[in-house]
């Protein structure tokens, strides 16, 4: 069972990294836009997506933290 948990925690770590990279890329896109664009509805939608990605990464980290003790 611990080998399966180790595989799952490896996948969770990878998923978390992907989510964090997506959030960072989206944030960089947002930051590179003009102030006028940043006040637009599209910018607001992007901010919501960035927040959702960050929340998802945090949730994946929580799952990883919960399982990692049982991977050994």
pLDDT at 47 over 80: yes
Q: How much is the pLDDT for 72?
A: 66
The residue count of the chain comes to: 72
Q: What is the pLDDT of residues 2-40, one digit of tens each?
A: 889 989 999 999 999 999 999 999 999 999 999 999 999
Q: Structurally, how many domains does the chain consist of? A: 1
Per the structure, the complete domain to which residue 58 belongs is given by 2-68
Does pLDDT of 1 surpass 90?
A: no
Q: Which residue has the higher pLDDT, 70 or 66?
A: 66
Q: Are 9 and 64 in contact (CB under 8 A)?
A: yes
Question: Where do the H-state alpha helices sit in the chain?
Answer: 2-32, 35-38, 41-68
The answer to whether 19 and 61 are in contact (CB under 8 A) is no
Instruction: Give the residue, 71 or 25, on which the prediction is more confident.
Output: 25
pTM listed for this prediction: 0.90
């Amino acid at each position: 069972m611990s080998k399966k948990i180790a595989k799952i925690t490896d996948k969770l770590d990878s998923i978390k990294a992907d989510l964090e990279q997506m959030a960072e890329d989206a944030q960089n896109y947002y930051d590179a836009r003009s102030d006028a664009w940043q006040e637009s509805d599209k910018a607001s939608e992007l901010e919501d997506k960035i927040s959702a990605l960050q929340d998802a990464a945090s949730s994946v980290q929580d799952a990883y933290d919960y399982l990692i003790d049982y991977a050994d």
